[in-house]
């Protein structure tokens, strides 16, 4: 029997969905029928407008909307984001927000003694606190819903979040100290968000909410284009498959983790690293 994934009638939110791994996830979710809300921050609005036109042309049956996110480090930004998604005319009639992919993140290659307080706070703000705030505010919103002939708060009951699923995009850097780049703060932020994801998955599992983590190794995105080639060669040498992942390879894993094919998996951290952590 062929395995199929169908997210028709559901909204998927992807933070950092305007480029790189996030954009690949957006496209793969749309291919599976999801209506899409994605955030962007550093990409100019004119480029986002062009991207939206392209996505809507490629997926004419899907509803797709983009939302700006500042630095992604405060709960107020996610409260505003979730309200904007609910009120967006571009997503009217598109279904419920059922899928969340917390993908937005940033790196910092800098000797730790040279990190400022702002450097550390910025890395943890987006990479760690961002997913924490997003999950909290999304679930608070779901817990506050009525509907289906039920009173407000019914989703707090056992199984009340059945069908809601989220994936946090972490990094193999949360498991090992990547090198030769110096990125202690980044590594720590990813280790923290991986631990958070596992803990929270257990806390909300009785309601039926599934939450997992994916930890990619080195991925061939546009950010790699400006990296010293000697570093790139060393990264590939240390990766048993002797290459980088494509964004699409990571995205396919995320789609399956969100699907009804993985309904008994929660609190897991899936390494998609080409074997980097084997040795």
Q: Between the CA of residue 53 and those of 31, 46, 92, what are the distances in Å?
A: 16, 11, 18
Assess contact for 163 and 100: CB atoms under 8 A. Answer: no
Residue among 97, 73, 99, 112 nearest 193 (CA): 73
At residue 5, what are phi and psi to the nearest 5 degrees?
A: -125, 125
Which of 40, 78, 133, 186 does the annotation list as catalytic? 186
Residue among 265, 266, 254, 220 nearest 103 (CA): 254
Instruction: Note if 186 is an active site residue.
Output: yes
Assess contact for 100 and 166: CB atoms under 8 A. Answer: yes
Residue among 164, 144, 141, 30 nearest 78 (CA): 141
How distant is the alpha carbon of residue 265 from its chain centre?
Answer: 17
What is the token pair recorded at 85?
């998604």
Residue 40 is inside which H or E element, if any?
Answer: strand 35-40
- The single residue listed with the structure tokens 């990619």 is 216
Supply the residues annotated as catalytic: 186
């Amino acid at each position: 029997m062929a395995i199929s994934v169908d997210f028709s009638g559901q909204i998927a939110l992807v933070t950092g969905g305007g480029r790189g791994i996030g954009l690949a996830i957006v496209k793969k979710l749309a291919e599976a029928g999801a209506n899409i809300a994605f955030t962007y921050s550093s990409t100019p609005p004119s480029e986002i407008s062009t991207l939206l036109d392209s996505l809507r042309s490629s997926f004419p049956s899907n509803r797709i909307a983009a939302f700006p996110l500042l630095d992604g480090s405060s709960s107020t930004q996610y409260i505003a984001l979730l309200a904007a998604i609910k009120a967006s005319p571009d997503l009217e009639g598109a279904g419920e927000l059922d899928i969340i992919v917390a993908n937005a993140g940033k790196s910092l290659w800098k000797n730790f003694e040279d990190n400022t307080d702002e450097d550390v706070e910025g890395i943890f703000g987006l990479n760690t606190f961002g997913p924490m705030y997003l999950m909290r505010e999304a679930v608070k919103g779901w817990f506050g819903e009525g509907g289906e002939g039920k009173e407000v708060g019914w989703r707090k009951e056992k199984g009340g979040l059945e069908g809601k699923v989220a994936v946090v995009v972490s990094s193999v850097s949360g498991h090992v100290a990547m090198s030769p780049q110096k990125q202690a703060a980044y590594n720590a932020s990813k280790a923290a968000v991986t631990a958070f994801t596992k803990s929270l998955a257990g806390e909300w599992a009785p309601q039926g909410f599934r939450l997992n983590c994916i930890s990619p190794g080195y991925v061939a995105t546009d950010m790699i284009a400006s990296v010293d080639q000697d570093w790139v060669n060393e990264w590939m040498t240390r990766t048993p498959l002797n290459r980088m992942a494509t964004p699409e390879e990571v995205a396919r894993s995320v789609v399956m983790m969100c699907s009804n094919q993985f309904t008994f998996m929660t609190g897991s951290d899936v390494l998609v690293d080409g074997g980097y952590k084997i040795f």
